[in-house]
Structure 1
């Protein structure tokens, strides 16, 4: 435990992947003896902190900010998962921006025992300026890996000041500031899908890219959910293009994993107990993607024709092919609603993970030594998939380069290759190698320790704080 105890405010964006990453970081900061004020909305706090581990409860303070009412935003929406359509995301960002006065009041009331640091998410581009009013330095914590950040580029490019991308095609090629060979870039169909919602100003008043750039520019340091042993060249690049310290905080796998299944999941547990070790595929595509009936149908056909045993976490089963559940009875289970993903992934029967390539899911899967098949759907997922394939850790489901469509047959063949075929042995060997890295608690703890040592050495009263 560190002797120089800090008070750290964390302020995540209102999306589950971000909330969970900030939650894991908060627990690890508290585990090192530091006091954490975790700020979010009441509904989100209840979701990610249903119970604080007893040995950390005296160090984690849950602070509820209430979202202001915003036109077009559903009344009970406090996270992107609550939105009926992606078109409403800008209004959630506008409501999030409306938390500025509550943050200012929180910091004002904390005086004279102000926080030593504020750790912010990409969307909170206005937080560093508020924190500086109280002489509190800010750190940007990225739930994205260093490769994804490197592809996104320097703050000036993100903010539209210089080297600005003005066409979707520019997102489908490796940018000029990347000074080493790589395949990390969007496909053409991905670039066309992300260009307008990320590069152009939306109803919140600024673009997603601007939020990234402004936050990175105004924070004193950047912390990244990764480690230099995994992607040293990308960390070196970030130091060059950000011109400020970039610190790995480790992969942040779940610190405590509940191993006991609740009563309602006993039938799933019993089914898993009957399966051969490492034979079952778990399929899940995160909380953000809203799968169309066509996508659900192809995924279903892929799981069915693979011949493999599987569990599929599916939010809405209405798009399933007729009699699908009957045809796979005994070999596959479809679970709807909330699913205890961490517990299922950790079960000895699970050997493969068909995933959307969200960074948190990749971290969890590799930390458990699971074979990954990647089907990226949105955001940074395409970049993550290229990164994993480049390192020969996993395989992507084949897609049409023009429209991004895929087939059940493509899913089935990729699953069988990675799980069983002789051709996939190299991937299975790589997974075991990287399990030693991603699941290495000593390495993850060392990264967090180095991070908090930096925070201690550069806290607000050290004389080294300045904006930007």
Structure 2
């Protein structure tokens, strides 16, 4: 690759759905010989970089910023997964915003070279202005796909300047800037929650939608965790509504898949070895949503009645039906606490994935050729689910349109249809086609190379630094 070596700062938001994609991107940038300064808090850095790959250790600089003490925020909280309740999220955002002084100091003293670019997350709406003080351009890296960005809209709408959404109902409708037919939109029960969580000003001082809009507006380019082969129409739309370069950086599946298990997981490994290839369902619902007791009970009923072997990664087992584990003994395993999801998903016995439709989980599942059943719970997950169903890649668990509730029977029927029933053959064929795209390392590498070429061609002290 003929790019000159760059110094790139990456600054993710404090949630695992953001930290992990930023980590994957950092590793890929470093693989091409570029220096990366990865900024986060001490606990998060230890979580996502427990050990730096030896070939990258000289290129990735782990920079620890300590979160300031903020009223209402417990001292040991450094990521959303640490929060005892969702109501404390605004205070974590406030603490994150208070890292501005440490960022200024880092940029002022960055050695041995001033950064060529800063890659920021949506929440860091204040970073581009600081970067401008040091004459460093910014790229916004979106961990959500182009369809989600297209639906949430242009910066002016997100910031409340024009065409802004002022009611929950507007989140359940196709916005006027989307100029092609699509079913990508929130359902009514999702729209109310999204409006309250995202569109209203919170305890941090601004709304989540404002953060998105301000960051997109003030960055020179937008980089998206996706590829044009998957959603070209949405990339075209983003170019129109952002009026700046929008660059796919690839799907960024995990670079190194560990297939060995630690000692504590040997019994799970032994159980998997006894199962037929592609027969087992893996169920997991991410780090952000906390299942209610009612939801846990219905998922349990669905997994029990579907008749398929399964592994369920469950953070809190208190909502399980009485004697559930005894009834499924031998056919199903319930794992609590931290679970080695990537290793389990990569096992040849796993054939299906009952998931919350987080973009990272969809990418990982399709990259491995797994059949997906989607049960979206929060944030962009509903939009992801509509997107995947529209492309006939997966199926969504049936829900009550009024309150979003679901039942075990709907889960069981959807799992069987996608995994084994004759009517699901079209989905299984489509998944194999997607595997060629989502698991294609050459495609992902080419996206990263194209992104790096743009960064090299448009760094500020380059002769070609006129932003396109």
1:415 maps to 415
Is the Cα contact below 8 Å between 2:457 and 2:464 reproduced in 1?
Answer: no
Cα deviations by residue, 1:325-364 (Å, 9 ceiling, x for unpaired)? 0000000000000000000000000000000000000000
TM-aligned CA deviation for residue 112 of structure 1: 7.4
2:41 maps to 41
TM-score by length of 1: 0.99
TM-aligned CA deviation for residue 59 of structure 1: 0.5
SS at match of 2:56: coil
2:280 maps to 280
Aligned counterparts of 2:198 and 2:309: Cα–Cα separation in 1: 38
1:302 maps to 302
Aligned counterparts of 1:75 and 1:33: Cα–Cα separation in 2: 37
Is the Cα contact below 8 Å between 2:3 and 2:452 reproduced in 1?
Answer: no
1:354 maps to 354
Aligned counterparts of 2:394 and 2:286: Cα–Cα separation in 1: 18
1:78 maps to 78
2:327 maps to 327
Aligned counterparts of 1:104 and 1:196: Cα–Cα separation in 2: 33
Is the Cα contact below 8 Å between 1:123 and 1:208 reproduced in 2?
Answer: yes
TM-aligned CA deviation for residue 20 of structure 1: 0.2
Is the Cα contact below 8 Å between 2:458 and 2:467 reproduced in 1?
Answer: no
Is the Cα contact below 8 Å between 1:220 and 1:466 reproduced in 2?
Answer: no
Is the Cα contact below 8 Å between 1:218 and 1:467 reproduced in 2?
Answer: no
TM-aligned CA deviation for residue 393 of structure 1: 0.1
Aligned counterparts of 2:348 and 2:286: Cα–Cα separation in 1: 22
Aligned counterparts of 2:2 and 2:408: Cα–Cα separation in 1: 52
Off by >3 Å, runs of 4+ in structure 1: 463-468
CA gap of 1:122–1:465, structure 2 versus 1, over 3 A, is: farther
Cα deviations by residue, 1:142-190 (Å, 9 ceiling, x for unpaired)? 0000000000000000000000000000000111000001000000000
TM-aligned CA deviation for residue 3 of structure 1: 4.4
Cα deviations by residue, 1:392-444 (Å, 9 ceiling, x for unpaired)? 00000000001000000000000000000000000000000000000000000
- Structure 1: stretches of 5+ with no match in the other structure: none
Is the Cα contact below 8 Å between 2:225 and 2:251 reproduced in 1?
Answer: yes
1:459 maps to 459
TM-aligned CA deviation for residue 113 of structure 1: 1.9
1:181 maps to 181
Q: How does 1:15-414 map to 2 (within 5 A)?
A: 15-110=15-110, 113-414=113-414
Cα deviations by residue, 1:238-295 (Å, 9 ceiling, x for unpaired)? 0000000000000000011111100010000000000000000000000010111111
CA gap of 1:58–1:39, structure 2 versus 1, over 3 A, is: same
CA gap of 1:467–1:3, structure 2 versus 1, over 3 A, is: closer
CA gap of 1:147–1:342, structure 2 versus 1, over 3 A, is: same
TM-aligned CA deviation for residue 137 of structure 1: 0.1
Aligned counterparts of 2:465 and 2:133: Cα–Cα separation in 1: 12
Is the Cα contact below 8 Å between 1:132 and 1:467 reproduced in 2?
Answer: no
Aligned counterparts of 1:117 and 1:466: Cα–Cα separation in 2: 14
Moved more, 2-11 or 32-41: 2-11
CA gap of 1:463–1:398, structure 2 versus 1, over 3 A, is: same
TM-aligned CA deviation for residue 462 of structure 1: 2.3
TM-aligned CA deviation for residue 464 of structure 1: 6.2
Aligned counterparts of 1:463 and 1:295: Cα–Cα separation in 2: 58
Count the aligned residue pairs: 468
TM-aligned CA deviation for residue 196 of structure 1: 1.3
Aligned counterparts of 1:79 and 1:194: Cα–Cα separation in 2: 20
Aligned counterparts of 1:265 and 1:94: Cα–Cα separation in 2: 38
Is the Cα contact below 8 Å between 2:3 and 2:453 reproduced in 1?
Answer: no
Aligned counterparts of 2:164 and 2:463: Cα–Cα separation in 1: 35
Is the Cα contact below 8 Å between 2:457 and 2:465 reproduced in 1?
Answer: no
Aligned counterparts of 1:391 and 1:216: Cα–Cα separation in 2: 27
- Structure 2: stretches of 5+ with no match in the other structure: none
RMSD of aligned Cα (Å): 1.1
Aligned counterparts of 1:196 and 1:375: Cα–Cα separation in 2: 21
Aligned counterparts of 1:159 and 1:362: Cα–Cα separation in 2: 29
TM-aligned CA deviation for residue 465 of structure 1: 5.7
Aligned counterparts of 1:203 and 1:53: Cα–Cα separation in 2: 39
TM-aligned CA deviation for residue 110 of structure 1: 1.5
Is the Cα contact below 8 Å between 1:131 and 1:137 reproduced in 2?
Answer: yes
Aligned counterparts of 1:409 and 1:263: Cα–Cα separation in 2: 36
Cα deviations by residue, 1:112-147 (Å, 9 ceiling, x for unpaired)? 721000000000000000011000000000000000
Is the Cα contact below 8 Å between 1:2 and 1:32 reproduced in 2?
Answer: no
TM-aligned CA deviation for residue 61 of structure 1: 0.5
Is the Cα contact below 8 Å between 2:39 and 2:65 reproduced in 1?
Answer: yes
Aligned counterparts of 2:299 and 2:224: Cα–Cα separation in 1: 32
Aligned counterparts of 1:166 and 1:101: Cα–Cα separation in 2: 34
Is the Cα contact below 8 Å between 1:12 and 1:19 reproduced in 2?
Answer: yes
CA gap of 1:240–1:107, structure 2 versus 1, over 3 A, is: same
Aligned counterparts of 2:33 and 2:124: Cα–Cα separation in 1: 26
